[in-house]
Homo-oligomer: A and B are copies of this chain.
Amino acid sequence: MTDSDQLPRGRATAEMVAARAQVSRVAVSRAFNPHTSLKPEKRELILKIAQELNYTPDRAARALVSGRSHLVGVIVPDVCSHWESQEIDALTTALQAEGFATLLFKTRTDYSMDEQLLAYMRGFNPDSVIAFVENVKPHTLARFLDRAVPIYVHYPLPGASVEPEGEPLHDRLNVLQRDGIDQAIALLQGFGARRIAYLSGAEKSRANGSRERTLRQVMADRGLAPPVVARGDFGYDAAYQATIDLFRVGDGADAIFAANDVGAFGVIDALRHELKLRVPEDVKVVGFDDIAQSHWKSYNLTTVKFDLDERVRALVRLILRRLNNPDAPGFQETLNTRLVVRGTVG
């Protein structure tokens, strides 16, 4: 198999395959598109020759005429952040199975949306866009992406209706945080915790805002005093320092609910290694997300699970449905949360 001799230099085109198979170039196109009429034997022959020539239809050319790039843009502030890397991983796998590819873009970590980045991304013509940047308004996104309909992650407060009020233009992923958070607070309450602190995420983040408000409401419903707030940013280092301040400058707490798991890790390490407190005996800790690292023995974190697989499946469903119904009104998916009990409460 000395390919280099027989094969022409550079990429093979449909024309070359057609010539070799003694058919028209259109037939080659049809051979690669399932729902077109082409005699089975002919399709088989074409695919065989295509494989010999290492031919694959050029997606750029295909996108130009069909209007489908089969690219899904993903905007993240920080790929290494555990939650996001796991999301990207699962999403890429799922999209790949549907014939799409993930196009990655990084924006600033301060959660400020970057109009320049949106224009840059638009050039690649993604069929859909998923933004893990919290404070970007769907309207802004929509203005920059002509074809793609952005997905809006919505966090309804307990009791509030899931029905969209404002703009039914955008697809929605509703995340019900109440159940998981209520189970967590109930567990803490059961173990005698009364002075519960909240380690926040990034201040501007919508996820953080809704999480804190849900927590307040749950605690009020259970007759608990409002939580003391320690300011974090979803990262380890900020959580570490905020916890130290909470105990050195502030009055401390007998339990800490963290806005995400990585923050909880920072809390735990600060308690154990800096403040010489025991977890869970002296202070109890609960996280949010249930990322893969949460079961590592050094942390063994009790946390509110926001199921990764469910979430990705919902996202992919939204993307595909939108692609098949470009002009339909906003679709919706709703996800719940629940507590996973491990070793940091007890």
Contacts and interface: CB of A to CB of B under 8 A. Distances in A.
A236 interface: yes
A54 B143 contact: yes
Contacts of A63: 60
Contact of A93 (B59, B106, B124, B125): B106
Interface stretch (A74-82, A177-185, A245-253): A74-82
A39 interface: no
A189 interface: no
Interface in A131-186: 143-144, 146-147
Contacts of A11: 125, 146-147
B54 A146 contact: yes
Nearest to A1: B143
Contacts of A225: none
Given A11-B147, A78-B89, A106-B93, A64 B60 contact: yes
A80 B86 contact: yes
Contacts of A269: 296-298
A223 interface: no
A102 to B, nearest CB: 4
A229 to B, nearest CB: 23
Given A125-B59, A143-B54, A297-B240, A105 B82 contact: no
A80 B79 contact: no
Contacts of A120: 56, 96
Contact of A265 (B103, B124, B125, B296): B296
Contact of A236 (B79, B124, B296): B296
Interface string A88-106: 1100110010000111111
A307 B11 CA distance: 36
Contacts of A296: 236, 265, 269
Contacts of A299: 298
A221 interface: no
A329 interface: no
What 10 A-B pairs have minimum CB-CB distances, sorted nearest first? Answer: A79-B89, A269-B297, A85-B85, A298-B298, A102-B104, A273-B297, A60-B63, A56-B123, A60-B60, A11-B146
18 contacts: A3-B143, A54-B146, A56-B119, A56-B122, A60-B61, A71-B103, A79-B79, A79-B85, A80-B82, A80-B85, A88-B104, A92-B104, A101-B103, A101-B121, A101-B124, A240-B297, A269-B296, A270-B297
